[in-house]
A and B are shown apart, each in its own frame.
Chain A
Amino acid sequence: MRGGGRRLADSVPDEVISRAQAQRLVRRLWSMLDDYYVRIFVAVFLLMLQVGTLLAGPALVAYGIDHGIKGRSGAALDRAALVYVVLALIAFVLGRTVTVLVAKIGEGYLQDLRGTVFRHLMSLSLGFFEREQTGRLVARMTSDIDALEDLVSQGLVLMVQNVLLFLGAVLAIFLLSWRLALAVFVIVPPVFMASRWFRRVSNVAYREVRDSIATNMSTLQEGLEGIRVVQAYAREPSFRDRFHGTNEGQYDANLVAVRISSLYFPSVEFTSVLGYAVILGFGGLLVHDGFTTVGVVTAFVLYLVNLFDPINQLSQFYNTVQSAAAALDKVFILLDTRPTVAERVGAFDVPSVEGDGRGIGVDVDHVSFAYGPDADLVLHDVTLHIAPGERMALVGPTGAGKSTLAKLLARFYDPVEGTVQVGGADLRDITFASLRRTMCVVPQEGYLFAGSLRDNIRVGRVDATDADVDAAIAALGVGHHFDSFPDGLDTEVQEGGSRLSAGERQIVSLARAALADPGVLVLDEATSNLDPGTEHEVEQALERLMSGRTVVVVAHRLSTAARADRIAVIDAGGLAELGTHDELVARGGRYASLYAAWQTHHQDAA
């Protein structure tokens, strides 16, 4: 019983990597390892030494028997035993060194890979994140890299060690007696074939096991999540029957796998006894004929384990290697994804108009946009000039493209045609770092990261001091709000910030923007209403944040629009109306009718 079935089941790959694909992966992997070449060569060298010292053992036994016992020399016997002990100790030291060295190489590489993949991920454009599922991206960084972990932490050493052991053992037995070695080789092919058979059948069986576990667990999960419904309708017996079915399914699948391994492992044991029989039988004949010695025959018996064990171990690595290769392939595909919105070479900082970066205008010039090469235009030929310090509200029906326009302003996407300019410079010509200093985007949901509230606000400007954070909050007039929290601003929140109300999360989000203190603010107003307690506070903080800045706000409430300097009505991807609130109401167009409808609704509710 080696290792048990579970780990095998875990590492059975879903898809099989072709030889050509594998070669490409290995080449690319190798090219990424260039920092480690020296250490890799040292490790392989030490492994060869270790394997050499291990393989010397049986040869020393042969020497001891033939020269010490048969040669009736106590001194030779002492010599052989002493060298054996010394070599074993050297092998021990080498083994320790190699294990740590290889772990450092492998884990170092994985650390590099995690860093590289995550940096790359962070460089990708928003469009990429909108297409991909979060879970899949997280999997690239976690389970896929973990699949490499098995290979790197132990697999590689054992693999190289086993290959060297096998080759070394072959060399050793041929040197000791090529006749007997040839006889031994008669049984290598069956062992090899048996292990291939086992690998193939057990892969299928373990995949079944894994599927059956998944089915059983999802039945259970559903039963637990739906327990109230099950109990409400007194359907416990029928759920029990259903779970019994999947539970027995898991048992049956496990038994199939056990049957296979219960055939395989005994045959491996049998082949080693068969090996003894061949060595003793044929070796005995060779001794009688004077072709070899008893010592050599004994050494052969001891070498047998070094011949068979590597074959079995290597066939088990096949799964680990396959899983790792499949994972690596996915990681490389991610690394090959190019950001669609990237900083161009020679990009410059946003030209600052006045020292503090305020007084910057935003110009949208004949902009058309589609989300993909073959997709319909979402915006066509929109031109909009937002003066420095102006507050512009974007209103319009769902799907009209107002949020898309806001995304273009923030350069989450690049326009298909036309230009977006900040402070007179095309967004595509300026550095991201300076753009983010000049312009902040406040999304409608206040997303919180795990950590303290203070750290969350510091997202706005990483190098801000505690005093800066306090000042930013004070500037919004919400400094007192977090006083009631157990640890004030140092209160820890969970990812997503579930312990805070929507309004409180929004305040943190606004404080981030205040800390970043940008000249231009792009705001997406929350659609859902906040709790009455904080709603007023959020509105006030928002008002303070907006004052003195160029603001583009995607307005969902007409009260917000009414307070803006000018209103742009976006409809069907174009600019339908533009003007002040009073102008648009007077014009009696689309905005006026929206406003009228909204007013009646509010009077009803009041």
Chain B
Amino acid sequence: MRDALRPHKKWSRIGIAAGGGWAAARVAIPLLAAAAIDRSIEHTRDPLWTWIVILVGAGVFQGLCTGMRRYAAFRLAYRVETDMRMQLVAHLQRLHFAYHDTAQTGQLMANAASDLNQVNQTVVLIPLTIASTIMMVAVIVVLVIISPGLCVFALIALPFLQLSAARFSRRMFPIGMSLQNELSRYSGSVEESITGIRVVKGFGAERRQIASVDNHSAGIYERSIAAARERAWFLPIIDLLPALGLAGILWYGGHQVLEGHLQIGDILAANLYVLMLIWPLRMLGQLIGQIPRSIAASARIHDVLATDPQIVDAPEAQSLASGGADLRFEHVTFGYGNGRPVLDGLDLVIPAGQAVALVGATAAGKSTVARLIPRFYDVDDGRILIGGVDVRELRLAELRRAIGIVFEDTFLFTESVRDNIAFADPGAPMEAVRRAARLAGAEEFIEGLPGGFDTLLGQHGYTLSGGQRQRVAIARAVLADPKVLILDDATSSVDPTKEHEIRAALAEVMRDRTTLIIAHRPATIALADRVVLLDGGRIVADGTHDDLLASSERYREVLARAELSAAHVQADSSADDGDEFDRDAEPEVSR
């Protein structure tokens, strides 16, 4: 945290200076009020208006300092939070695929939002606490100078306020957590009753769900009351302790005045000091309660930042040579995590410009082969060469720009269709975007969208069908103009009748590019010059489609099974707009 504060010395200094000014003004004001009473009301030593003017002047000065102190503290805290978030996000971006495979988006979002917010709250409190501490010390000094006895009576009860605030904060935390848990169980119960409403209605199980929701609701009540009991200890103490101080001042101070040691103004000043200290003490308690949470939050952030990216440029990384890019897998072995190897001594050579279809059963490792080429993961053993150079010795950004990969699960951004296609090269002319869309068989449907190429996609925009999304993703890869094109089951959701239309265009895209196609449908496989069959982490058959059909029993088996699951996909995609019981598609209902 100290490192994070260092670049902001200017505002730290302004904040501390303003805090000092504020503390001075706060300590002065009760003394001025006391002086007004003793010198101008009780006696007439000075004209009343002089003290009043000085008092108002001190008020103005105090106001200026308060404003400046507050602004500096928050500006600093938000600056730190914003910078740390940027640092966190930039770091997350550099982390390797394997990290993101296990990290949950929700968790990372929580790091970037609530954890950083916790840190922010502590940073805000630091300068305020420094100023408040200065003020408290000054108040004690002033009171001791006026009368040590009065100081004792006025302030003796107050430390309990800070202790109570810290205790309250500490005790509320587990209750709050447990309340949050009960609330989330409750909302889970509500949610499943609604998403499963057909089961609930179909079996008349409403009462079962009501019992479950009532149960959680009672749990919420119980924990809320537990929280209220804690509040019921703490909140009245905020009124009680100062009141004890004021009573003590009245009694002790009053007798001192009777004995001629003090003046009435001193009683007023001591009263004002007590009232003044309530908030700083509460805040100090709050800070004490807040610190462990902030530490825990910054530890979580630190964990993320301490994870080193595993896929980085080698110290003397080379540029990719121009010209064709042949691919060579040399005895490649790879497994995810500590599990069994997915690829086991794989050897494969793809000459520049050739299109190879990679076929294999589910989980045979086809996608893994595809993901090793752009170094989403690094091989455990063996090596992968592109243009004769080990991919690990190339500059990562250049390597990836030279490869266009289309994943099976297409991710599109909440941007226009045009921006999604021009993702690799945002400055690409419209003509290039249009051409890429045409080659991916997407131009026609894009023109039919409400805003054509400017249609906004995603969450708040237009929703495309699975096949349309895949075609936009293919266009995105086409526009990148890669040397190596990888289509990982990239047309699986495209309607078979439409796939036929884009096949010719795809053939044009693939010309002069080294292409790896992962596919199940014979029609797609037919796009390739050559087919390799992957089984048990190695290539077990290699040749043309017809060769393999004739020679490999395993190939026929894999194709037959793929056909079956392709039939399922068709059934599923027709079910998307089918006349189902569960998601009835009668248009009157959906509108």
B485 to A: closest C-beta gap in Å: 12
A137 to B250, CA, bound (A): 59
CB contacts (< 8 Å) of A234 on chain B: these are: 396-398, 400-401
User: Contact: B401 with A233, CB < 8 Å?
Assistant: yes
Q: In residues 56-84 of chain B, which contact A (Cβ within 8 Å)? A: 56, 58-60, 62-64, 66-68, 70-71, 73-75, 78-79, 81-82
User: Contact: A529 with B588, CB < 8 Å?
Assistant: no
User: Contact: B247 with A88, CB < 8 Å?
Assistant: yes
- Nearest CB in chain B to that of A238: its residue: B426
A123 to B201, CA, bound (A): 9
CB contacts (< 8 Å) of A122 on chain B: these are: 193, 200, 206, 209-210
Instruction: Tell yes or no: A32 within 8 A of B by CB.
Output: no
Instruction: Tell yes or no: B529 within 8 A of A by CB.
Output: no
CB contacts (< 8 Å) of B42 on chain A: these are: 294
Instruction: Tell yes or no: B519 within 8 A of A by CB.
Output: no
Instruction: Tell yes or no: A551 within 8 A of B by CB.
Output: no
- Nearest CB in chain B to that of A254: its residue: B78
Known: A69-B258, A72-B258, A269-B66. A240 touches B239 (CB 8 A): no
Instruction: Tell yes or no: B255 within 8 A of A by CB.
Output: yes
A67 to B: closest C-beta gap in Å: 10
A38 to B: closest C-beta gap in Å: 19
User: Contact: B128 with A1, CB < 8 Å?
Assistant: yes
Q: In residues 227-275 of chain B, which contact A (Cβ within 8 Å)? A: 227-229, 231-233, 235-237, 239-240, 243-244, 246-248, 250-251, 254-255, 257-258, 264, 267-268, 271-272, 275
Contact of A103 among B79, B109, B198, B224 (CB under 8 A): B224
Q: In residues 169-200 of chain A, which contact B (Cβ within 8 Å)? A: none
User: Contact: A403 with B267, CB < 8 Å?
Assistant: no
Q: State which of B342-350, B504-512, B540-548, B576-584 sits at the interface with chain A.
A: B576-584
Known: A4-B124, A130-B584, A298-B268. A232 touches B376 (CB 8 A): yes
User: Contact: A126 with B198, CB < 8 Å?
Assistant: yes
Q: In residues 314-340 of chain A, which contact B (Cβ within 8 Å)? A: none
Instruction: Tell yes or no: A142 within 8 A of B by CB.
Output: yes
User: Contact: A217 with B109, CB < 8 Å?
Assistant: yes
A102 to B585, CA, bound (A): 49
CB contacts (< 8 Å) of A586 on chain B: these are: none
A221 to B203, CA, bound (A): 39
Instruction: Tell yes or no: B207 within 8 A of A by CB.
Output: yes
User: Contact: B579 with A218, CB < 8 Å?
Assistant: no
Interface string of B31-48 (1 = CB under 8 A from A): 001001100111010001
A402 to B578, CA, bound (A): 11
Q: State which of A92-100, A353-361, A466-474, A542-550 sits at the interface with chain B.
A: A92-100
Instruction: Tell yes or no: A487 within 8 A of B by CB.
Output: no
User: Contact: B254 with A81, CB < 8 Å?
Assistant: yes
User: Contact: B208 with A228, CB < 8 Å?
Assistant: no
User: Contact: A459 with B190, CB < 8 Å?
Assistant: no
Interface size class of B (residues with CB under 8 A): 35 or more
A433 to B208, CA, bound (A): 13
A432 to B217, CA, bound (A): 26
A153 to B100, CA, bound (A): 40
CB contacts (< 8 Å) of B58 on chain A: these are: 273
The majority secondary structure among interface residues of chain B is helix
User: Contact: A258 with B192, CB < 8 Å?
Assistant: no
User: Contact: A115 with B203, CB < 8 Å?
Assistant: no
Central interface residue in B86, B205, B275, B400, by most chain A CB within 10 Å: B205
Contact of A221 among B60, B109, B243, B572 (CB under 8 A): B109
Instruction: Tell yes or no: A400 within 8 A of B by CB.
Output: yes
A96 to B237, CA, bound (A): 9
User: Contact: A96 with B239, CB < 8 Å?
Assistant: no
User: Contact: B239 with A370, CB < 8 Å?
Assistant: no
A443 to B195, CA, bound (A): 13
Contact of B231 among A74, A154, A235, A410 (CB under 8 A): A154
CB contacts (< 8 Å) of B574 on chain A: these are: 398, 527
User: Contact: A138 with B258, CB < 8 Å?
Assistant: no
Instruction: Tell yes or no: A427 within 8 A of B by CB.
Output: no
A235 to B240, CA, bound (A): 61
User: Contact: B85 with A273, CB < 8 Å?
Assistant: no
User: Contact: B401 with A108, CB < 8 Å?
Assistant: no
User: Contact: B29 with A273, CB < 8 Å?
Assistant: yes
Q: State which of B383-391, B407-415, B531-539 sits at the interface with chain A.
A: B407-415
CB contacts (< 8 Å) of B246 on chain A: these are: 57, 61, 84, 302
CB contacts (< 8 Å) of B4 on chain A: these are: none
- Nearest CB in chain A to that of B206: its residue: A122
User: Contact: A443 with B423, CB < 8 Å?
Assistant: no
Contact of A233 among B198, B271, B423 (CB under 8 A): B423
CB contacts (< 8 Å) of A376 on chain B: these are: 588
User: Contact: B48 with A284, CB < 8 Å?
Assistant: yes
Instruction: Tell yes or no: B93 within 8 A of A by CB.
Output: yes
Known: A270-B60, A298-B264. A259 touches B423 (CB 8 A): no
User: Contact: B97 with A77, CB < 8 Å?
Assistant: no
CB contacts (< 8 Å) of A57 on chain B: these are: 243, 246-247
CB contacts (< 8 Å) of A118 on chain B: these are: 190, 193, 209-210, 213-214
CB contacts (< 8 Å) of A121 on chain B: these are: 193-194
- Nearest CB in chain A to that of B90: its residue: A240
- Nearest CB in chain B to that of A239: its residue: B93
Contact of B264 among A69, A97, A225 (CB under 8 A): A69
User: Contact: A84 with B247, CB < 8 Å?
Assistant: yes
User: Contact: B92 with A251, CB < 8 Å?
Assistant: no
User: Contact: B563 with A450, CB < 8 Å?
Assistant: no
User: Contact: B74 with A254, CB < 8 Å?
Assistant: yes
User: Contact: B268 with A64, CB < 8 Å?
Assistant: no
A267 to B: closest C-beta gap in Å: 6
User: Contact: A217 with B113, CB < 8 Å?
Assistant: yes
Instruction: Tell yes or no: B188 within 8 A of A by CB.
Output: yes
A46 to B49, CA, bound (A): 43
Q: State which of A274-282, A384-392, A589-597 sits at the interface with chain B.
A: A274-282
B389 to A: closest C-beta gap in Å: 17
Instruction: Tell yes or no: A421 within 8 A of B by CB.
Output: no
CB contacts (< 8 Å) of A254 on chain B: these are: 74, 78
Instruction: Tell yes or no: B459 within 8 A of A by CB.
Output: yes
Instruction: Tell yes or no: B467 within 8 A of A by CB.
Output: no
Instruction: Tell yes or no: B550 within 8 A of A by CB.
Output: no
- Nearest CB in chain B to that of A229: its residue: B411
A496 to B187, CA, bound (A): 14
Instruction: Tell yes or no: B296 within 8 A of A by CB.
Output: no
User: Contact: A403 with B213, CB < 8 Å?
Assistant: no
Known: A301-B272, A403-B581. A447 touches B199 (CB 8 A): yes
Contact of A95 among B97, B128, B235 (CB under 8 A): B235
Instruction: Tell yes or no: A311 within 8 A of B by CB.
Output: no
Instruction: Tell yes or no: A223 within 8 A of B by CB.
Output: yes
Central interface residue in B194, B210, B229, B239, by most chain A CB within 10 Å: B194
A459 to B94, CA, bound (A): 48
Instruction: Tell yes or no: B586 within 8 A of A by CB.
Output: yes
Instruction: Tell yes or no: B105 within 8 A of A by CB.
Output: yes
User: Contact: A153 with B228, CB < 8 Å?
Assistant: yes
Known: A104-B225, A111-B220. A378 touches B588 (CB 8 A): yes
A129 to B201, CA, bound (A): 11
CB contacts (< 8 Å) of A248 on chain B: these are: 82
Q: In residues 248-271 of chain A, which contact B (Cβ within 8 Å)? A: 248, 250-251, 254-255, 258-259, 261-263, 265-267, 269-270
User: Contact: A263 with B204, CB < 8 Å?
Assistant: no
Interface string of B293-320 (1 = CB under 8 A from A): 0000000000000000000000000000
Other A-B pairs, 8, CB within 8 Å; known A91-B236, A99-B235, A233-B476: A134-B194, A138-B190, A220-B89, A224-B109, A274-B59, A281-B48, A496-B195, A512-B199
Could you show 5 A-B contacts with beta carbons less than 8 Å apart? Answer: A118-B193, A255-B74, A269-B59, A301-B271, A398-B578
List 8 A-B pairs, minimum CB-CB distance, nearest first: A436-B204, A273-B59, A95-B236, A103-B228, A441-B202, A524-B581, A81-B251, A88-B243
